[in-house]
Amino acid sequence: METNHQHFLIYKPYGYLSQFVCELKKKKLLGELYAFPEGTMAIGRLDEHSEGLLLLTTDGLVSEHIRSRHIEKEYYAQVDGLITDEALEQMRQGVEIGIRNAKYQTKPCVAFRVENVPDFPARGRKIRDDRHGPTSWVSITLTEGKFRQIRKMTAAVGFPTLRLIRVRVGAIGLSDLQPGEVRAMTSFSEAD
């Protein structure tokens, strides 16, 4: 059975919504970056202030599979302060966060300190001045994706997120994509 579905990788820049339509005026949308075919949908979302790898497809079944708990999603978060081993261990075990006015215990995850500052492209908007204290980077890999989960997790352990970048979905990595760049793919088999 032949399908005519199309698949894309994009480095979602800071300040864009992971959607094509928005009732709010003056919001930047994915359709401004590329002429995606009709029926294209983002697989999962990155909030307006998050950046990085976003997969898009015209195939709802592919979208559902990649959003499932079988596929890992890895994020790099720049956090306020020098993250401690205790905070990392708390996140690994799962922390309590708020989701829609309710408490939610996150699932165990992989979390570790990134020793060398990652070489990501500069963000369009300055994060903050060095005079406000040190920052550190952490890698967090999840198989779930609640609303603003990484930001809530790092805040719950005392290290608020300043910058958040998704670097991997399954085996598909951000690699050398630049902010706003789009690549057409024949499939997302690497996501498995």
Q: Is 150 exposed, middle or buried (0-12, 13-18, 19+ CB in 10 A)?
A: buried
Q: How far is CA 121 from CA 62, 100, 125, 180, in A?
A: 29, 33, 12, 11
How many C-alpha atoms does 72 have within 13 Å on its Cβ side?
16
Residues involved in catalysis = 47
Q: For the chain, how big is the Rg over CA atoms in Å?
A: 17
For residues 88 and 111, the answer to whether their CB atoms sit within 8 Å is yes
